[in-house]
Structure 1
Amino acid sequence: MEKFVNHIQLGYLGLLPFLACVAWPLITGSSAVNIAFFTFYSIAILAFMAGNLWRAGQQSYADAIKAVLPVIPIAFISFLPPTWILAWLAGSFWLVLLLEKSTPQWQSYHVDYQKMRFVLTSAVFVCHILVIGMSVYPD
């Protein structure tokens, strides 16, 4: 368990900016800057999470492709309306979790880490839904 404590703490700390991006507009009113910050932070965290699936030299070619699959389309979807980008990102966090659960390493992870991954993915998904709502109904 000890080797997962830092990962669990850092995971929950990484949720704070998502929560702040949801709370801030509720206090000050929604803005394009807030939605943009949330989107950029979400992309960065998604890329980080997908990058953790990358196990150079330890996985098949197909598994390596799966590891980057959620991130590659971001360059193309960045031209879409913000609500579509946020919806893609929300779904991609679930995809990364499903891909992580399909790895052989998942079974060796402590149950608290596995629970944390589900809780964080759920919370991040809800944050995305709320920010989509804020972008659709800004006032």
Structure 2
Amino acid sequence: MSKYNNQTFLGYLGLVPFLLLVGAHFLFEHPLLSQAFLFYSISIMSFVAGSLWRTSNSNKFNWLVVLPTIPTLALALFDTKLALLYLGACYVFILALQKRTEDWPILAPDYQRMRERITGVVLVCHLFFAAQLHHNVTQI
């Protein structure tokens, strides 16, 4: 298996907890599920941003990559819906930054498609989860 095949497989495998937690919350609506989703998302977003650290010789790029991760731990203390929306936007921001690196054009097309698909699915998971939380609040 090539380097990109492993990265692609692991990338798609990383979607499983997002999908399971969204589905479980849809069925059971337990507060621990939203916390688990939030902390998993913070971890993965930090990992993705960290994996791009130093892919560029530009200090400006490196700071832009790390910028979204700075408030993430504090997000756990604030409104979960807002945290989910922020994190969803961070995934899109990180992908947009990655597409501007010198390395993006030379990455395997399968890897590029995987990153775009995963970012889309993760964004939808965040939006869906935030919508579920909003729906639960408006019903009370």
In structure 1, list runs of 5 or more residues that go unmatched: none
Q: Distance in 2 between matches of 1:14 and 1:37?
A: 14
Aligned-residue Cα RMSD (Å) equals 1.7
**Residue ranges of structure 2 left out of the alignment (5+ in a row):** none
Q: How far is 1:67 from its partner? A: 1.5
Q: Offset at 1:75?
A: 3.7
User: TM-score if structure 2 supplies the norm length?
Assistant: 0.91
Stretch of structure 1 that moved more, 109-118 or 79-88? 79-88
Which residues of 2 match residues 1-80 of structure 1 at below 5 A? Answer: 2-27=2-27, 29-55=28-54, 59-80=57-78
Q: Distance in 1 between matches of 2:32 and 2:73?
A: 20
Q: TM-score, normalised by structure 1?
A: 0.91
Name 2:107's counterpart in structure 1.
109
Instruction: Give how far 1:74 is off.
Output: 1.7
**Aligned partners of 2:38 and 2:76 also within 8 Å:** no
Give a deviation string over 1:16-55, Cα, whole Å, max 9, x none: 000000111233x212100000000000000000001111
Give 4+ residue runs of structure 1 displaced > 4 Å after superposition. Answer: none
The match for 1:89 is 87
Q: Once the 2 structures are TM-superposed, how far is the Cα of residue 81 of structure 1 from its aligned partner? A: 0.8
Percent identity between matched residues is: 35
**Amino acid corresponding to residue 53 of structure 2 in structure 1:** W
State the alpha-carbon separation in 2 of the partners of residues 77 and 7 from structure 1: 28
Aligned positions, number: 137
